[in-house]
Copies of this chain bind each other. A is one copy, B any other.
């Protein structure tokens, strides 16, 4: 069960992430976190005939690997919460066609993984789901033609632009048992600082990350230094700087902030400009890097704060500003006796 304080739900018996898997493409396999991935493919088409179908395959593989690691079958999963960046979330929809499990689709853009973990933890903790899959994906090539221009146009990237990850992450949640605990969740409110540059998502999303973190800290009477790390996903280098400045203006000095978009790639060697992004970026960094650290006990308690930019190509062309949202989950290392 849970206690509500402000915008935050605190679980008295934290549900757990019992298993997780990360799958990535070529560039992810050349990055600093490659060793943590469960599967990496040099061929970004994943054997499919289009980028959209490739992303569905990516998400499906992450889901199946996650279930395999937990040694359970699809039949033992009560519900899947999933979403992605494609119009009408088709990567998730087509992945779910193959999986055949009850499915509630989410849209939170790049915040989807935290949204899925938050809603999933609530349902698990209330005994309303036993095995529950939370997952999200993105694909560089599908996203570029969705939001910017098709790759073959060869458009030049600006220094503030982020690189959409070709990656997926999937987590199996359970009401109890061994695994990383989800201690709390804060669902965000939409923020809009009137950013209109579709090549500067970090600036659009930083205010949402700051707002949700401030809500969480106020609701739980905690301070940034209570955590081994505060992971955002994915503000990139430009957005991370703005995020820390916004918090500094509120009197908070963040010394333990890490952005998933800044660690998935080597920004300089891999020419990703401001860093990684996409609904699959923080989902994969969570599964390939953050959760393993908690499982090893390298970190004990941290925040995972995923941000999403909520515009579309249509609203961008209509000169609308970019609203953004951020959802937060608090994660705890497994108890010693229950460590997987």
Contact B88 A2 (CB under 8 A): no
Contact among B90, B108, B127, B314 with A104 in the assembled complex (CB-CB below 8 Å): B108
Contact A90 B126 (CB under 8 A): no
Least CB distance, A163 to chain B, in whole angstroms: 19
Contact B189 A102 (CB under 8 A): yes
Question: Which chain B residue shows the least CB distance to A321?
Answer: B97
Copies of this chain in its oligomeric complex? 2
Contact among B102, B105, B186 with A7 in the assembled complex (CB-CB below 8 Å): B102
Contact A126 B93 (CB under 8 A): no
A118 at the interface (CB under 8 A from B): yes
Contact B100 A190 (CB under 8 A): yes
Contact A320 B94 (CB under 8 A): yes
How far apart sit A1 and B107, CA to CA, in the bound complex (Å)? 26
How far apart sit A166 and B22, CA to CA, in the bound complex (Å)? 41
How far apart sit A144 and B85, CA to CA, in the bound complex (Å)? 21
Interface residues of A in 104-144 (CB under 8 A from B): 104-109, 115, 118-119, 122-123, 125-130
Contact B96 A190 (CB under 8 A): yes
On chain B, the residues within 8 Å of A187 by CB distance are 79, 102-104
Please report whether the interface of chain A is mostly helix, strand, loop or mixed according to DSSP: mixed
A266 at the interface (CB under 8 A from B): no
Contact A104 B106 (CB under 8 A): yes
How far apart sit A115 and B82, CA to CA, in the bound complex (Å)? 13
How far apart sit A123 and B187, CA to CA, in the bound complex (Å)? 13
On chain B, the residues within 8 Å of A130 by CB distance are 4
A9 at the interface (CB under 8 A from B): yes
Contact A87 B119 (CB under 8 A): no
A310 at the interface (CB under 8 A from B): yes
* A288-310 interface code vs B (CB 8 A; 1 in, 0 out): 00000000000000000000001
Contact A87 B313 (CB under 8 A): yes
A176 at the interface (CB under 8 A from B): no
Least CB distance, A29 to chain B, in whole angstroms: 26
* A175-219 interface code vs B (CB 8 A; 1 in, 0 out): 000000000001111101000000000000000000000000000
Contact among B1, B90, B107, B318 with A105 in the assembled complex (CB-CB below 8 Å): B107
Contact A190 B2 (CB under 8 A): no
On chain B, the residues within 8 Å of A4 by CB distance are 78, 127-130
A164 at the interface (CB under 8 A from B): no
24 A–B contacts from the bound complex (CB under 8 Å):
A1-B126, A1-B127, A52-B315, A79-B187, A85-B88, A87-B88, A87-B146, A87-B313, A93-B323, A93-B325, A94-B310, A94-B323, A97-B190, A102-B187, A102-B189, A103-B187, A104-B108, A104-B115, A106-B106, A106-B107, A119-B119, A122-B123, A126-B128, A146-B314
